[in-house]
Structure 1
Amino acid sequence: MFTGIIEAIGTVTRLEKEKDNLHISIESGLTSELKIDQSVAHNGVCLTVVKIQDTVYTVTAINETLSKTNLKHLSVGDKINLERAMKLGDRLDGHIVQGHVDQTARCTHIEQANGSWIFAFEYDTAYNNITIEKGSITVNGVSLTVVNSQKDTFSVAIIPYTFEHTNFNTFKIGSEVNLEFDVLGKYVAKLVSANTL
């Protein structure tokens, strides 16, 4: 379980394909605090630490994960948002995030807004995921509030701290991002659709 509050930015140092799996090595200031078998969210994707060497650790993404996330597009040198699993009893500063990406989206608009930034994203509605105005959404692992919710698009407002301390500052029009929709909203939507059949 995660909160969507990014702890650090990691840098991809090595990518190694093994059959359908991708071993991703990441250099991070968090590495010294990690241990083997620990869960860490990478751009919102929960992956298990399988190797640690000095300031670099390695995780493995299976084909199922690669097919549903933007991790398949990683290159050496890319910046990746990192968050360790929350501790029981900690403050929940973001919202409840599972680290299970629902689908990807494309950045369609970036606008500077007098000290902050507005990012718009478009996603495929075939998966029946929805956003609601002022509801929660996780973009590349970052807990955010939805503004301008539409059928297949939404926007988020990014403050300078978030822009500087996440990989939002690398986004361009067309960038693919990972989305995890609000877990409570997903259950409500499922219950409503089940009762209307």
Structure 2
Amino acid sequence: MFTGIVSAIGTITSADRRGDLHLRIDCPWEPEDIAIGASIACSGVCLTVVERGREAGNASFAVDVSAETVARSVPGMWEPGRKLNLERALKLGEELGGHLVTGHVDGIATVKDVSPEGDSHRIGFNAPADLAPYIAAKGSITIDGVSLTVNDVADQDDGTCDFAVNIIPHTGEVTTLGTLEPGAHVNLEIDVLARYLRRMQSLRS
């Protein structure tokens, strides 16, 4: 389980096909803080550490990515050179700074527009029809592993929905969201509470 509060940006340095896709990711953590078997959210995808290495403050870890995970996440995100938002799993007793995040991608959204709003940036997205019922104004959503609050939602005739979030300067600097441009794709995870509420409503009908 995660909170959607990114603690580092990692870079994929190698990607090898070994049945599953085997990735090595560089990050600015201490190697001893990365445990073999630990879960790390990589741009919203929960992956298991299978190797670690390098020196203090310049660590690396390796993960295996299944074909199912590759198919469900943003196309091209597992290529060398790609930047990833990293978050280690939540420990009991730690502050829950964002919201409860599982690290399971529910779908892919497309960036529609990016516009300045004060010192921040407002980013508009289009979400697929199967996720539209779960997205609500002032609700939580995870975008590429980052916990954010939905500002507003507009349902579309084709069943999809447009929604917008605000990215403050700090968030833009410490995550990959500050580099998003129209046409880019992002991993979406809906709020787990919205998921259960939707299920309960379907059983009543």
- Aligned match for 1:121, one of 97, 110, 125: 125
Paired with 1:77 and 1:31, the residues of 2 have a C-alpha distance of: 21
Residue 64 of structure 1 and its aligned partner are, at CA, apart by 0.9
State the Cα deviation string for residues 124-183 of structure 1 (Å, max 9, x = none): 113565211100000000000001112312110010000000001221111110000000
State the Cα deviation string for residues 53-94 of structure 1 (Å, max 9, x = none): 212211111011111112643332221000000110111110
Contact 1:31 / 1:52 at 8 angstroms: preserved in 2? no
State the partner residue of 1:154: 163
1:50 aligns with 2:50: yes
State the superposition RMSD in angstroms: 1.4
Structure 1 unaligned spans of 5+: none
State the partner residue of 1:24: 23
Paired with 2:75 and 2:30, the residues of 1 have a C-alpha distance of: 20
Paired with 2:133 and 2:109, the residues of 1 have a C-alpha distance of: 12
State the partner residue of 2:12: 12
1:2 aligns with 2:11: no
Range moving further from structure 2, 106-115 or 124-133? 124-133
Taking structure 1 as the reference length, the TM-score comes to: 0.94
Paired with 1:169 and 1:91, the residues of 2 have a C-alpha distance of: 25
Identical counterparts, % of pairs: 39
State the partner residue of 2:174: 165
Paired with 2:99 and 2:166, the residues of 1 have a C-alpha distance of: 16
Contact 1:31 / 1:57 at 8 angstroms: preserved in 2? no
Size of the aligned set, in residue pairs, is 195
State the partner residue of 2:143: 139
Structure 2 unaligned spans of 5+: 156-160
Taking structure 2 as the reference length, the TM-score comes to: 0.91
Contact 2:11 / 2:81 at 8 angstroms: preserved in 1? yes
